[in-house]
Amino acid sequence: MNILVIGSGGREHAIIRALKKSPKCEKIYALPGNGGIADDAECVNIAATDLDGIVEFAKTHPIDFAAVIPDDPLALGLADRLRDIGIPSFGPSKKAAVIESSKAFSKDLMKKYGIPTAKYESFTDCDTALAYLKTQTLPIVIKADGLALGKGVIIAETLAQAEQTVRDMMLEAKFGKSGECVVIEEFLTGPEVSVLAFTDGKTIVPMPASMDHKRAGDGDVGLNTGGMGAVAPNPYYDESKQLRAMEEIILPTIAAMNEENRKFKGCLYFGLMLTEEGPKVIEYNCRFGDPETQAVLPLLKSDLLEIMLAVEQERLSDMDIEFSKDACCCLVLASGGYPEKYEKGKQISLNDFPENIFVFHAGTKKKGTELVTNGGRVLGITAVRKTLAEAVSACYEAAEHVEFDGKYYRKDIGSRALSINA
Ligand code: AMP
Ligand code: GLY
């Protein structure tokens, strides 16, 4: 089969590597791909958000199946457009992708169906939002309604900071249109868990849970990023929590989306917080997470292409999906300055790089024969080992063998997971 994969991050690289293992996979086109994906697929320079360009490409090439991976094209309805021209696709419809593209929608869905989440209110008027803030306790969480690359969430410690954030979002459009509506919600505490699940709208199969590291700095300080590293499985999400989340969150979410006539087919991401009152939803994403996917798919033993086909054809219940019991760590190497200003175009070298480690490319591109940086998150260094401790140390050892100007990474990926019994 000839497969089209939309996207260009480390997550897409991990997906393409998994798809390539399928005996059914003949050729992969990546739109637009990146410097590392170019070794595994044919990269075509069409942006993931150029829907007309992608549809035109799909019409004029022998494509048998498409996988739409990032949030933006899903929110714009790319999976629908591809299905409309007869190309079976992995990824939710625009109607279902709203579970991520509008936080106000997802919060209202949870309220309506009794799915546990932080208490909240949403606002489209700045004065009303400012007045509400005065009635709340601190810290308080302020979220831009729309997509903001994981950066539209501010945890305010003081009222002044909260008020400033609301003004920045609603009056100064710091997050563009995404901030025209804000959600203000209660601050929750507890370990976070990312659960990625395959679903065809009838059956849902969670993958091993993972733990992201969203803040830029060691010890979970600094700005929120797209994710600085991930480990799987997540030891905080034990069997009893898994059962509870399945019963109170995962199955009810699928039922709620069906009830709303927004059947979700694809990978649904549950960002959970394990609070003292039980697991609660922090966010839904309508897609594979990044870097979580880089830490989860290397554990998949089954054929990813077969799973994606089964999702699209709504026969996921027939599939036997198997994951390895090993542990996996993905360490993100970023450009200094990320998630704020950073430079691009720095030459990357991998000297004496150890074997048995995956290097998933995110912000890289080929410049002649050289590989250069081309984004905030540059590489995902990923190791699968018998234990998490071994996987983590293998990643840190390997990271020493990568050089580029401004290379930055967190030094504590996995430490919270490893400290569970400490
Ligand atoms: P989101 O984009 O909604 O996942 O938020 C990004 C990150 O902000 C989450 O992964 C949490 O670490 C943090 N966060 C979001 N909402 C809350 C909340 N209600 N309480 C505490 N932390 C939160
Ligand atoms: N790592 C979080 C996300 O993909 O949204």
Identify the CATH number of the domain in which residue 161 sits: 3.30.1490.20
The answer to which of 118-127, 194-203, 375-384, 408-417 has the lowest mean pLDDT is: 118-127
> Do 182 and 196 have their domain in common?
no
The confidence score (pLDDT) of residue 178 equals: 66
Radius of gyration of the chain (CA): 21
Does a structural domain hold residue 310?
yes
Own/partner long-range contacts of 306-310 (Cβ < 8 Å, ≥24 apart): 306/22, 306/24, 307/198, 308/19, 308/65, 308/67, 308/90, 309/65, 309/88, 310/200
pLDDT computed for residue 421 by the predictor: 73
Same domain, 209 and 290: yes
Mean pLDDT value across residues 250-276: 98
Bond into 32 cis (ω within 30)? yes
Rounded to the nearest angstrom, the distance between the alpha carbon of 177 and the centre of ligand 1 is 20
With beta carbons less than 8 A apart as the criterion, state whether 312 and 215 touch. no
Mean pLDDT of 188-200: 97
> Which ligand sits closest to the CA of 186?
1
Identify the residue whose tokens are 């209110």.
Answer: 121
Does 105 reside within a domain? no
Supply the residue whose CA is at minimum distance from atom 5 of ligand 2. 289
Which residue's CA is the closest to the ligand 1 atom numbered 10?
A: 214
Neighbours of 156 (CB within 10 A): 21
Mean pLDDT of 60-76: 98
User: What is the pLDDT at residue 175?
Assistant: 76
Nearest partner of 395 among 367, 364, 354, 362, judged by Cα: 354
| H helix intervals, 114-183 | 126-133, 159-170
- Sign, CA dihedral 40-45-50-56, equals negative
Tell me: do 296 and 334 sit in the same domain: no
Whether 113 is covered by a domain: the verdict is no
196 with 306, same domain: the answer is yes
Same domain, 313 and 213: yes
> Which of 168, 186, 204 is the C-terminal boundary of a domain?
186
150-174 average pLDDT score: 88
Query: Which residues are 273's β-sheet partners?
Result: 192, 280
Q: 141 C-alpha to center of ligand 1: Å? A: 8
Instruction: Answer yes or no: is 108 within a domain.
Output: no
- Length reported for the chain: 422
Mutate to test the pocket of ligand 1, among 141, 195, 270, 277 (most ligand atoms within 8 A of CB): 141
**Residue/partner pairs of 354-357 with CB below 8 Å, 24 or more apart:** 354/394, 354/397, 354/398, 354/401, 356/383, 356/394, 357/381, 357/382, 357/383, 357/394, 357/395, 357/398
Residue 85 has pLDDT above 70, yes or no: yes
Q: Where are the alpha helices (DSSP H) in 223-360?
A: 239-245, 251-259, 292-296, 304-312
Structural domain of 152 = 119-186
CA of 153 to the centre of ligand 1 (A): 7
Whether residues 181 and 202 share a domain: the answer is: no
CATH number at residue 371: 3.90.600.10
Give the whole-angstrom CA distance, residue 168 versus residue 149: 17
Same structural domain, 83 and 164: no
Please state whether beta strands 182-186 and 153-156 pair in parallel, antiparallel, or not at all (unpaired): unpaired
Residue 174 has pLDDT above 90, yes or no: no
Would you say residue 179 has pLDDT above 70? no
Q: What integer pLDDT is reported at residue 104 of this predicted model?
A: 86
User: What is the amino acid identity at position 361?
Assistant: H
**Dist. CA 382–CA 376, nearest whole Å:** 18
Closest ligand 2 atom number to CA of residue 292: 1
Q: What residue's CA is closest to ligand 1, atom 16? A: 282
- Same-domain check for residues 295 and 392: no
Contact between residue 5 and residue 29 where contact means Cβ atoms under 8 Å apart:
yes
Peptide bond into 291 cis (omega under 30): yes
Residue 111 lies in a domain: no
CATH number at residue 202: 3.30.470.20
Pocket of ligand 2 (CB under 6 A): 150, 212, 226-227, 285, 289-290, 292
* Shared-domain flag, residues 169 and 59: no
pLDDT on residue 103: 85
Which of 59, 94, 129 is the last residue before a domain boundary?
A: 94
Tell me which of 186, 213, 230 is where a domain ends. 186
Same domain, 394 and 288: no
Residue 251 falls inside a structural domain: yes
Atom 8 in ligand 1: residue holding the nearest Cα? 153
Q: Classify residue 109: in a domain, yes or no.
A: no
pLDDT digits (tens, 9 = 90+) for 31-53: 999 999 999 999 999 999 999 99
Tell if the pTM clears 0.85, that is, is over it. yes
Q: Looking at residue 81, which CATH number applies to its domain?
A: 3.40.50.20
Q: How many separate domains does the chain show?
A: 4
Answer yes or no: is 379 within a domain.
yes
Encode 332-364: b = buried (16+ Cβ within 10 Å), e = exposed: bbbbeebbeebeeebebeeeeeeeebbbbbbbb
pLDDT band (50, 70, 90) for residue 268: very high
Same domain, 31 and 61: yes
For the residues 292-301, what does the mean pLDDT come to?
98
Distance from C-alpha of 11 to C-alpha of 68, rounded to nearest angstrom: 12
124 and 68 in a single domain? The answer is: no
Average pLDDT over residues 116-145: 94
